Amino acid sequence: MTLRSADATLRAFTHVADDRSHGDGPLAGMPVVVKEIIDVAGMPVGLGSALFADRVPRTDAEAVARLRAAGAVIAAITTSTPFACGTTTPTDNPRAPGHTPGGSSAGSAAAVGAGLVPVALASQSQASTIRPASYCGVWGFKPSHLALPRGGMHLLSDTLDDLGVMASSLTDLSAVLDVLGVVPGPPAPPRVGLLRLDDGGLPRPETRAALAGLVSRMRGLGVEIVDADPGLAAFDAAVVGSGQACFDLFAGESAALLRTYVAAGEPDPRLREMVAHADAIGPEGLAAALRHRAELQAAWADLTPTVDLVLTLSTTNPAPSGHATTGCRRMPATASLLGVPALSAPWLTVDGLPQGVQLLGFAGGDAALLGGARWLDTLLQGDR
């Protein structure tokens, strides 16, 4: 099955490349697809908006150039909500047809979840890598802030925007990250802390039960689980409401650029909502969000003597039905606000739908997070 024929119902791609040649290197011949806010030379990269439907970059984004140099094949451009912050996309969820694949990296997650490609480039400002990875049952990685190259990406929030990567396996994910500049650490048994984060009480009993079952299984396999700890409890209390702070920050920093797109005729209502929100909170609201971020970052760093990584849900629940929304962004937003690495692992199923488990590390600790995840995944796979 070709990418074009497979996309008739999935609607994950805005462009499929005709030239599939590749070079030599560690990724020789690996097909990779790219979210349409990341420049690929000679291909239409429209930023998810009709305003830029004819946009064809002349040069590759830095991440794309590194992948090509390592022998990867850029196979297609994937759908994004407008400017990676709009309402929705036409893309379906391959693991749950009729449900959202998440956003804004909808096409990237759907392409990997459908088994069409092993790896996709994505992005995240609040939830756009971790959430669709969770909904589509794939691996998703958001790095420590600025740990992966952002050159040639369309940016909205300098404080929050990061390149993301999705993959069908941890092996493929690690190979691509190695090329992009984050070298995974060796597998090592981590001390795993448990947090709810800013979940708003939204996870259903079935979702909580699935996570509790996984934690129980880990304990039985000898994983060191840290839960009855005052520091973790204090952070869970402090992080309540941080999802709103992340949105305040995102809207406040992106409003100036989004205002120009709205004035140029971009119809997506989400952009107008973000501009209006930024106007409502004003500079004082943006400054307050930045202060709250700094306070939470300090509290997060205080957890390092106690745990090596934190385990929680990637999303509050599996993908909701329909395409009117891309789902709740609460759970992934914490990692973006903190600027710490996060990994969505496809370890759970709830009501027959994929449900990701989120592993969070510490700023600059991307290698250690990936090494701990590798150790845990090997342990869990061996127990099946």
Positions annotated as catalytic residues are 35, 104, 128
**DSSP code per residue over 73-142:** EEEEEE--SGGGTSS--S---TTSTTB---SSSHHHHHHHHTTS-SEEEEEESSSTTHHHHHHHT-EEEE
Tokens 């791609």 correspond to 13
Q: What is the DSSP letter of 189?
A: P
How far is it, in rounded angstroms, from Cα 270 to Cα 259?
12
Beta-carbon neighbour count of residue 99 at 10 Å?
A: 21
| Bond prior to 344 in cis (omega within 30° of 0) | no
**Burial profile 136-156: b = 16 or more Cβ within 10 angstroms, e = fewer:** bbbbbbbbbbebbbbebbbbb
Q: Considering Cα of 207, then 210, then 216, then 221, what sign does the dihedral take?
A: negative
Q: Which residues contact 257 (CB under 8 A, 6 or more apart)?
A: 156
Q: What span, in angstroms and rounded, lies between the C-alpha atoms of 319 and 102?
A: 7
Burial tier of 126 (Cβ tally within 10 Å: 0-12, 13-18, 19+): buried
Q: 253 is written with which tokens?
A: 């920093």
SS3 263: helix
Cβ-contact 337, 198 below 8 angstroms: no
